[in-house]
Structure formats: C-alpha cells, structure tokens
C-alpha cells in the first residue's frame, strides 16, 4: 500500500500538477484538501479537477467562519498591519490551513502533508513551521521547491498527463484571496516604479470612479469584536462580506507597498482589503474612547510585534499566545458604535460612542459647564517641568556650542 499524503489544494496549475507529480514521482496516494477561507471557487469543479489530476479523494473544508472568528478578528483586536500597511490576509490563513492539513492527515492515517508554495516566499515558512509545531512527526513535501519546472513546463506536463487546467483564464499575476483580503504579486508589479494597471484590482473601484456621494455605516462592537452593521446584529462572515462590498464600491482598501519578506527579499505587493481596513479604522476609533493613554501606547507597540509574529509564521508559538492574552484583556470595555464615512478611497471615523467611554464632556469642553480645574494646572506644570529646569541650569551649553538642541 502506498503511503498517503494530504496536499493543500487550491485548484490552480501548481497544485493540480503537484497531485500527479506526488503520485508518479514520489509514489504517494494523494488526498487533495481544499480549505475554503472565502475564495471564489466551485467545490464541484475543484473536486473533479483534483480527481482527474490523480487524487484518490478530495476533501472540502468550509473554514470561513473559523477563519474570521479565530484568525482575522484576533488580528483586528491587535490592530495588526505588517510594516504599517499589509492587513495580513494571506499570512493569517496559513496557520488555519496547516491545522486542517494536520487534522485530515490524522483522519486519513497519512504520513506526510504537501503544499504548493514556492521556495522564495513566506507561505512555505508559515505552513512548514505550523505543521512542525502541531505534528512534528509529519513529513512536509513542497513539490515546487523540488521540481525544476517553470510555468511553461508545468503547462506541458499538465497537457501530457491530461490534467485539466484553465490556462486561458490564467491571470498574469499570482493571486491569493480570502475573506480578509486579496494579495497580488508578480508580472508588471515586479517593477516598483510601475503604477498598478487597473486589471490588478478586483474588489475595489478606483477612487476616481467611486460614487461622488459618501456612504455611512455604523459598526457596533462588543468587547472589541464587530457584531452589528447599522444597528442590525450580523454574523462575522456576513459582516465582513457586506463590508467588502460596500467599502470596495467606494474605493476603500487598496494597498500598494514594498515589503520585506521573511526570506530576505524585498517584494512589491498589491493588496485589497476593504472590510479589513474599514474595521481597523473603526476599531481604533472605539479604542481611542475606551482605552487609557497607557493602554493605547503599549497596544500600538504590540500591534507591530503581533504583525511580525503573524507575518513570520509563528502563530503556533508561546510568544503569540502571550501577546494574544494581553490583547484580549485590553478589549474588556471596547464596546460601542463607530460611524464610518466611506468616500472616494477613504474610510474615516466621523462618530464614536460607548457606554464605557472615558471621554468626559465637562472636562473637555471650552464652553459653559467646564469642570476642569485650571488653577491646578500651574502646580502640575511646575512639578512636571522641574527636572527640565534643573538640568537646563546645571548643564548650560558652552557659549560657542551651536547645537540646535539645548541643553
């Protein structure tokens, strides 16, 4: 009996060829696994393609809700954006896909798992490391790291072996998408000086062509988690889908950036994340009302750390667990509603309210009803400025010292 291998199957050229290659060149019995994190694919079509390519079985796992609840939303609570831009859609899906690969491998009694990642990207690291963390005994095979085929040879291999592929529909870009966002790379995008052609974008209107009238949406949060739109309670998947459509229609969510891959390469990346960007803006606006200055400061620092952890494939690590516990704890009072204005490519918070708000009108106002004790400000400033005064007197700069910063 041949050994079994579970291959993460997207239905594209790479993984379709990989099915046959694993079977013919490595002698495996191949179980193709598609983890649906919100991609626009037909289950029947993928199943028949996997079987025609040589799989002994195709497993389809609907993981949309798990993905949003347990992967995307925790990153939202953290405010995570890699290098200040990328909302991490692809990166967040990898640990979930790895977990499903391991689960199916156990069910099937497989000795190995496989994926279609190249040897130059981040995704191979995320999948390999996640599998190593969850099931160190499973072997990981990455055919694209092993075979010498380029795209042309893969197409030839597919034709030779009667593997159904859809080359005419093939895009000049490498695209990965799920509910949290769409990632596009390669082709003309590899020149960072070239503006992305319009065909790069699929989820967002060009801001110039977006409606002239803004749209408003009120997003309700319960302990940091988005739970309603315009007052109507809605499940996480439907909420994200609805915001992707609405914000995308207004040109919100386009990201054009050069990022630093884990493997040391700089790469030009285009992302679309209409719901992600809108929710991050709204969530931050609610935190501005409900968290203290110190909580906000530390959270902002940890957001960067959290994004690195996700980007670098360390989801199943103790470090991630500890960071997530802190972030979760900060959300106890992040409950309320934010009104977002979507207009020609921008999503801005224009209203926020919370039953747990720390905003005190009588302290903030410059009008009637001011309760702030201004006379106390003088004493406060005297003590706050004390060390600065002492140092300025004791360490006066030399006469001809033209240091612009004194002392």
94 in active site:
yes
Min separation Cβ 76 and ligand ARG, Å: 17
Residue among 14, 154, 176, 284 that touches ligand ARG (CB under 6 A): 176
C-alpha 143/C-alpha 153 separation (Å) is 14
Structure tokens given for 143: 């055919």
C-alpha 135/C-alpha 226 separation (Å) is 33
**Angle formed at CA 20 by CA 18 and CA 24, multiple of 5 degrees:** 115
The position carrying tokens 């110039």 is 208
Active-site pick, 93, 99, 123, 352: 123
Min separation Cβ 126 and ligand ARG, Å: 8
C-alpha 310/C-alpha 287 separation (Å) is 22
Min separation Cβ 117 and ligand ARG, Å: 8
**Span 184-203, contacts to ligand ARG by CB under 6 A:** 185
Provide, for the chain, the percentages of residues in helix, strand and coil under a 3-state DSSP scheme, each rounded to the nearest 5.
Answer: 45, 20, 35
Stretch touching ligand ARG by CB under 6 A, among 61-69, 169-177, 314-322, 363-371: 169-177
Stretch touching ligand ARG by CB under 6 A, among 50-58, 98-106, 143-151, 170-178: 170-178
Residue among 122, 130, 335, 354 that touches ligand ARG (CB under 6 A): 122
Residue among 61, 174, 295, 312 that touches ligand ARG (CB under 6 A): 174
Stretch touching ligand ARG by CB under 6 A, among 57-65, 172-180, 315-323, 375-383: 172-180
14 in active site:
yes
Structure tokens given for 341: 């204005």
Structure tokens given for 185: 């790379």
Nearest to 275 by CA among 297, 294, 248: 248
- How many CA atoms, within 13 angstroms, populate the side-chain half-sphere of residue 266? 4
C-alpha 33/C-alpha 132 separation (Å) is 18
Number of helices followed by number of strands (H, E) in the chain = 15, 14
C-alpha 61/C-alpha 31 separation (Å) is 13
Active-site pick, 20, 49, 94, 99: 94
User: Does the footprint of ligand ARG cover residue 13 (CB under 6 A)?
Assistant: no
Contact 279, 236 (CB under 8 A): no
Min separation Cβ 320 and ligand ARG, Å: 16
* CB closer to ligand ARG, 269 vs 287: 269
Stretch touching ligand ARG by CB under 6 A, among 49-57, 173-181, 215-223, 366-374: 173-181
Residue span 82-101 as binding mask against ligand ARG, x where in contact by CB under 6 A, dash where not: --------xx----------
Binding site for ligand ARG (CB under 6 A): 90-91, 122-123, 174-176, 183, 185, 269
Catalytic residue ranges? 14, 94, 123, 174
């Amino acid at each position: 009996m041949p050994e079994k291998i579970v291959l993460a199957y997207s239905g594209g050229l790479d993984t379709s060829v990989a099915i046959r290659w694993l079977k013919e060149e490595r002698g495996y019995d191949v179980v193709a696994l598609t983890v649906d994190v919100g991609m626009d694919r037909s289950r029947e079509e993928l199943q028949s393609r996997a079987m025609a390519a040589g799989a002994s079985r195709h497993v389809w796992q609907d993981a949309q809700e798990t993905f949003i609840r347990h992967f995307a939303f925790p990153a939202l609570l953290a405010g995570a954006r890699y290098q200040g831009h990328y909302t991490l859609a692809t990166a967040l899906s990898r640990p979930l896909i790895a977990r499903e690969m391991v689960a199916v491998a156990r069910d099937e009694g497989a000795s190995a798992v496989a994926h279609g990642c190249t040897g130059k990207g981040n995704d191979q690291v995320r999948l390999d490391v996640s599998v190593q963390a969850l099931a160190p005994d499973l072997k990981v095979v990455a055919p694209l790291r092993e075979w010498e085929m380029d795209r042309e040879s893969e197409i030839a291999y597919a034709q030779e072996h009667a593997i159904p592929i859809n080359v005419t529909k093939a895009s000049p870009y490498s695209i990965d998408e799920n509910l949290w966002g769409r990632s596009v790379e390669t082709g003309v995008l590899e020149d960072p000086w070239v503006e992305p052609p319009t065909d790069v974008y699929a989820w967002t209107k060009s801001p110039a062509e977006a409606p002239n009238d803004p749209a408003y949406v009120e997003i309700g949060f319960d302990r940091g988690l988005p739970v309603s739109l315009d007052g109507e309670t809605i499940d996480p998947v439907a909420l994200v889908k609805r915001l992707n459509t609405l914000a995308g229609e207004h040109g919100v969510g386009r990201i054009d950036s050069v990022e630093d891959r884990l493997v040391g390469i700089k790469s030009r990346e285009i992302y679309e994340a209409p719901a992600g960007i809108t929710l991050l803006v709204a969530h931050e606006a609610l935190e501005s009302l409900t968290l203290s200055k110190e909580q906000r400061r530390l959270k902002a620092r940890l957001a960067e750390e959290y994004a690195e952890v996700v980007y670098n494939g360390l989801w199943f690590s103790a470090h991630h667990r500890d960071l997530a516990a802190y972030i979760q704890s900060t959300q106890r009072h992040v409950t309320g509603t934010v009104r977002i204005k979507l207009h020609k490519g921008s999503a801005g918070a224009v209203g926020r309210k919370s039953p747990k708000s720390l905003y005190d009108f009588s302290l903030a106002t410059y009008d009637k009803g001011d309760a702030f004790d201004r006379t106390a400000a003088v004493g406060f400033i005297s003590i706050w400025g004390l060390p600065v005064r002492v140092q300025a007197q004791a360490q006066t700069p030399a006469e001809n010292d033209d240091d612009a910063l004194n002392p």
